[in-house]
Amino acid sequence: MFAQHEFRAVFVAGALSWVGDYVAKAAVTLLVYQQTRSVALSAAAFAVSFLPWLLGGPVLAALAERYPYRRVMVACDLIRMALMVLIAIPSLPYQVVLVLIFAATLANPPSQAAKSALIPQLLTGDRLVVGLSVNGSVGQAAQVVGYVFGAAVAAINPEVALLFNAATFGLSALLVRLGVRDRPAVMNPAHRSHLLRETRQGFGIVFRTPVLRAIAVLVFSAMLFSIVPEGLAAAWANDESRGAVSAGTAQAAIMVANPVGFILGGLLVSRLFGPTRRLKLMRPLAVLAPLVLVPVLLDPPPLVVALLAALCGFAVAGMMPMANGLFVQALPNGFRARAFGVMATGVQVIQGFAVLVTGVLAERFPIPIVVGVWSAAGVVLMVVATLRWPDRQTVDDAITAASTANADPPPSGPDGPAGDGSVGGTADPHAGDGHRRHAVT
């Protein structure tokens, strides 16, 4: 996998950007709090980075297909680098900081969509599945490293942490510009329609094709319950910690448990099992992920909760790369960035919904009861999702149809042969139920 020099460049650039992003989140949160002494405004500084996905993630991601992926990634990195330098200006009013952070995060959806669509052009076969697994694990590791390093540096000087983030974006842009070959855009100007129409096609190909829809349901279901222990960690640790474990230690253990489990699961499952075995394990792991959280009904100590959360993350990571790989293989090239936008936005919304609902329920009921019952419902949901999983022939037909679509020449007219603005020889985004795109972790 790492013998592919273009993938090495994209991989290192992505890791730098991720670490820098989490460093910046820690720094901006502290910077706003130091200025305002307001917990609410400090939380808003953290939450504003999610707004672009919630307000227009699919539309912003669709832009990535209109231009060469390398150009999109480099341009987004340079834009974010410049804005981070501005945010690092000392004594900048917090209102301006919030606006600039929002502007910088507007570049996240197109940048990540372009990267997501580019990787399948660099890796094929099982290397793609392993690449997605390693990429996802590094993203989780970057979260842990970025938060720890960012909090440490920001405590001394938040502006230095922000300049560090700007430097990571600059290095990322340089690596992609020098290390990735220039490729033409998958959608040339003659084949464009209205941006909103192109975005709607992304939703159509995901939810109107059985194979893509099955993977989307599996991914969204996993996100619905796996985030809950992390989201409720602060209240859980302060309510339930006892003995020699402090509330702070308990909170930290619960919050990092899922990412650590995800890292281990992604690396170990991809290395210990071949493609056929991973495919067979995907559905059992999907059911196991919420099942391991059900024992919190017994109100175990926080460190046991952290262990169960880590096991959940392990199971999700073992299942997710195979689902991602299947999604990539069965998705026509011309829909990859748009499909990424749909899935990434769905993941963000579902995670926020899960934490919000369980948080409201935890105001009235004990947290262990809420999380245990929520996870039990997740088991039922996952069982239904796995029972409705398409058979192997349907999945193979979807991959074959996508490969055929990718090999076809682009349509002759501006809106394609069926007048729907499709690309890559796919007249109907869901024709024959044979097209699929990759899910996101």
- Residue linked to tokens 């002759």: 412
- Which residues are CB-contacts of 334 (< 8 A; sequence separation ≥ 6)? 65, 186, 187, 422, 423, 424, 426
pLDDT at 323 over 70: yes
The conformational region for residue 391 under phi > 0 = left, psi -120 to 50 = alpha, else beta, is: beta
Q: Given this model, what pLDDT does residue 188 score?
A: 58
pLDDT at 437 over 60: no
Q: Given this model, what pLDDT does residue 70 score?
A: 92
Contact assessment for residue 297 and residue 207, using Cβ atoms and an 8 Å cutoff:
no
pLDDT at 296 over 80: yes
Residue 416: which pLDDT band, with cuts at 50, 70 and 90? very low
Higher pLDDT: 379 or 262? It is 379
Contact assessment for residue 175 and residue 42, using Cβ atoms and an 8 Å cutoff:
no
Residue 135: which pLDDT band, with cuts at 50, 70 and 90? confident
Element (H, E) at 271: helix 247-272
Identity of the highest mean pLDDT range in 74-78, 149-153, 156-160, 348-352? 74-78
Higher pLDDT: 139 or 224? It is 224
Distance CA 130, CA 136 (A): 10
Q: Given this model, what pLDDT does residue 430 score?
A: 33
List pLDDT tens digits, range 71-90. Answer: 999 999 999 999 999 998 98
- Which residues are CB-contacts of 273 (< 8 A; sequence separation ≥ 6)? 281
Number of neighbours of residue 171 by Cβ within 10 angstroms:
17
Average pLDDT over residues 97-112: 87
Number of neighbours of residue 280 by Cβ within 10 angstroms:
12
Number of neighbours of residue 90 by Cβ within 10 angstroms:
7
Contact assessment for residue 53 and residue 348, using Cβ atoms and an 8 Å cutoff:
yes
- Residue linked to tokens 């890292």: 263
Q: Given this model, what pLDDT does residue 413 score?
A: 38
Q: Which of 29-43, 181-195, 219-233, 365-379 shows the lowest mean pLDDT across its residues?
A: 181-195
Nearest CA to 194 among 311, 59, 94? 59
Give residue 184's identity as a one-letter amino acid code. Answer: P
